[in-house]
Amino acid sequence: MNEKPIFDTERLIPTYFKLALPVVFSMVITLIYNLADTYFIGRTNDAMLVAGVSLCSPLFMALMAIGNIFGQGGNSLISRLLGKGDLSSVRRVSSFCFWISILAGVVIAVPMLLFRAPVLGLLGASENTFSHAESYYLVIVVGAPLVILSFIHSNLMRSEGMSTQSMICSVSGSLLNIILDPIFISGLGWGAWGAALATVLGYVLTDIMCLLFVLKKSRVLSVKVHESRVDRSEFSQIFTVGLTAALTNIASSVCVVFMNQYLLPYGDEKIAALGIVLRVTMIVQLILVGFSFGGVPLFGFLYGAGEKEKLNRLLRFCTLFLCGLALAESLIVFLAAEPLLHIFIDSDAIIADGTVMLRWLISGMVFCAIVLLYTCLFQASGKALQALIMSLSRQGLLFIAVFLIATAVAGYNGFLASQLIADAVSAALAVVLYRLTFRKQSGQVSAGGTAA
C-alpha cells in the first residue's frame, strides 16, 4: 500500500465521481434488469402472473438486507481501518464478512422453505396468485445463500477503491439475467419459475467474478478461513452499522407488504399496478442510491483519517448535486408516467391506476436524496444510532405511522400521499440529526452548504 494511496483526497470531487460512477452504472444495469424482468413478465399480459411475482419483491429486499449487514457494515469498518492504515484488521474483517454471509444464507433459507405457505399469505398472495408466487419464491429461497453473498464483495471491493471491478461483476450478472429472462419465461414457458431461475443464475455469475477479482487483484481483502475472525468491538461495529443498512431493506419490505395488504380489497389488478410502479420508481431511486452509496468509502476514509474539512466540503457538494439530480429525474418520470407504464403492460385499467400511483411516489424524490445521502454519512462515520433512526424513517416506522394515519383519514387518497409525506418528514429529520451529531465538531457544514 505504501507505493500508492488508496484514495486521492487532494482531488476530492474527481475521486468521488471515480468511486460513485461505477456504482451508478451498476445500479443502472440493475435497473435495466429489473425493468426487463417486469417487461418480459408483463408481456405475457397475465395480470395474476405479474401480481404473483410482484408479491415476492419484499423477499428480495429481505435477502438484500441480510447481505447488507455484512456488506455495508464491513464496508464502513474497512474504509475507516484503511484511513487509519490498519491492513491486518482489514484482512480479518473482510474474510469474516465473506464466510458469515454464506452461513447466514443457509440459516435463513431453511425456515423460509418450511413456512412458505404462511409467509406467502403474509406477502398478500391470494387464491389466484398463490401458484405463481410460490414458484418464484421457492427458487429464490433455495438460492438465498448465493443472493446474499453477492452483496459482500460488491461492497467490500469498493472500500478498497475497486469500484470499477465491482461494477463489472454486478453488470455481468445482470446481463446474464436479462439474456436468460425471455428464454426461460416465454421461450421455454417456465413463467415465474423461469424468471426466478434467471435471477439466481445472474447472482451466481456475480459471486464467481467477485471472488476472482478479490483473489487476483485485491491488495488488502481476504477470503482465507484462518483469517476469518473479529473481536467483539469489530463485530459490534460491523453489525450495528450493517444492521441499520439491513433495516432499510427490511423496512422497505414491510412497507410493501402493508401497501399490498391495503390494496387486497381493491383487487389484484391494483397490486399488479403497484408492482410495476415500484419497479419504475427505481429509475430515479437507484441512481440516487448509486451516487449516495458510491461515496461511502470516501466518507469513511476521510472520517477515519480525521480529515473533517475535506469531509464537510464533499458533503456540501453531494447535497447540492443529489438534490438537483433528483429534481430533474423525477420531473421527467412524472411527465412520462403513462408512456412508461405502457412499455410494461397493455391493460388500460392497470395503466390508469399505475399512472396516478407513479406520480405520487415520484414527487418526493428530492427529499429521498437527502435521506439517502445523510444515512450514508452516518453509516460511513460509524454513527450507528443515527443511521438506525434514518433506516426506520422514510420506509420504516415513520412511513407506517404516516400510512396508517393517512389511510384512516383520507382512504385511498391517503394511500397515494403517504410516501410523499413520509419522505418530507424524513428529510427534515436527517438534517436535524446531522446538526445534533456534528455540531460540536469544527467546520461543520449545514445541509444548505453554509458553515455552522
pLDDT digits (tens, 9 = 90+) for 383-418: 878 888 887 787 778 888 898 999 999 998 898 898
pLDDT at residue 323 greater than cutoff 90 = yes
CA gap 174, 352 in Å, rounded: 30
Residue 1 has pLDDT above 50, yes or no: no
Q: How many helices (H) and strands (E) does the chain have?
A: 19, 0
85 three-class SS: coil
Q: Tell me if 163 sits within 8 A of 22, measured CB to CB.
A: yes
Cα–Cα dist 66/98, whole Å:
12
Q: Where do we find the cell 477470503?
A: 223
Q: Is residue 318 predicted with pLDDT exceeding 60?
A: yes
Higher pLDDT, 416 or 252: 416
Q: pTM score, two decimals?
A: 0.66
Confidence band of 33 (pLDDT split at 50, 70, 90): low
Q: What is the dihedral of CA 213, 217, 220, 224, to 10 degrees?
A: 50
| pLDDT higher than threshold 60 for residue 443 | no
- Range among 60-74, 80-94, 270-284, 308-322 rated most confident: 308-322
Residue 444 is predicted with a pLDDT of 45
Helices within 264-307 (DSSP H only): 268-293, 296-304
**pLDDT at residue 451 in the model:** 35
Cell numbers linked to 424: 418530507
Q: CA neighbours within 13 Å on the CB side: how many for 182? A: 7
325 has pLDDT over 90: yes
- If we measure between CA atoms, which residue out of 379, 377, 369, 421 comes closest to residue 398? 421
Percent of the chain with pLDDT over 70: 89
pLDDT of 203-228, one tens digit each? 899 999 999 998 888 888 888 888 88
Query: Is 98 or 5 the better-scoring residue by pLDDT?
Result: 98
Asked if residue 327 has pLDDT above 90, the reply is yes
